[in-house]
Amino acid sequence: MSTSLAPDHILKEVSQMWASLGKQGSAAEHAEAGVLRACTLTLVVLAAPGDDPAALGETLAALMPGHPARTIVIRPESGGQPSAAVTVQCWMPFGQRRQICCEQIEITAAENHLDDVVSILGPIAAADLPLILWCRGNVAIETPSFSRLASLATRVIVDSAQWPDPKSAIILLSGQARTLRIGDLSWTRLTRWREMLSQVFENRQCAEHIPEIARVRVLYGGARPSVAAYYMAAWVAGSLELAGAHAELEMDADERTDVQELQAVELSDHSFTVNLSRLRETLVTAANGVSRCIRLPLAKDHLLMSEELDMVHADTVFERTLATASRLWKQA
């Protein structure tokens, strides 16, 4: 269904769609069959130029069973009249006969008409539920319309790995974090790294060495550190400082690879060393001769976003890390 870019028209299309689905459900042979409407939040997706509609659709479909939402996809285009289309995402849980469905509203508008889109988001968002804004590119956050769009959001999620300049990404995000609750998928990709390192220091003998750690070395691939490398360095340095340790921080290029990813983190003092390193798709931890490994999960967008959507409110650890990473960049 397509309709004009007016809140009452869009909501009317949504109501008609559910009425149609309800009739289908009432005609089901058994009471347990039919359609169940589900919504826990509004997810506003600001598509990046060149985003593949099919791939984005698959990502959103994979997200919905865990985080059913009224999804509003905004596609900026070079020209043309603004328009909206209303569709539905449905799935059937294993062993059941009833479908669970969420509505999706797709809005296309010229880049210079984004203010018009922002003005209708409030009325068409799901009432009294969190609104999460997912910016899939770096262009939108630098446009004049972004501040108005972001002001509607409970949280704003970006992916700084997609930005060409890591330094400008960190500085820009740290500035936005003064007034917005920001999430970054570059940080989310570090979850297993942080978990593995934390688990090392759950051991009492290892924990006793924390105040003595004097050196932290971060290895990165590529010609310059990625945002993730600076996040990891900032998180480790900040965590050690909270524990009473003041370590010297080094960031070095790993000459074995030109892939711009975090490669290893090493913490050491005169008698104790912890090394956390990437070995292809595996993460390996070695602490004083004892090692363990886990397989790094595929960093697919729907898995990363699912983790972020589990945290509707502020991620204080990330916010603190982002501020520290910004200071590190300025000192570099």
Cα–Cα distance between 241 and 232 in angstroms, integer?
14
Predicted pLDDT of residue 24? 66
Predicted pLDDT of residue 1? 46
Enumerate the domain spans of the chain: 2-153, 191-295
Sequence-distant (6+) residues with CB within 8 A of 79 are 110
Cα–Cα distance between 150 and 162 in angstroms, integer?
19
DSSP string, 192-257: HHHHHHHHHTTSHHHHTTGGG--EEEEEE-SSS--HHHHHHHHHHHHHHHHTT---EEEEEE-TT-
Predicted pLDDT of residue 102? 93
Q: Which of 321, 219, 306, 212 is nearest to 266 (CA)?
A: 219
Predicted pLDDT of residue 256? 83
Mean pLDDT by 10 residues, the chain (332 residues): 75 89 60 78 92 92 95 84 88 81 91 80 94 87 82 94 90 92 95 93 89 94 91 94 89 85 92 91 88 86 95 88 89 69
Decide if domain 191-295 falls under CATH 3.30.70: no
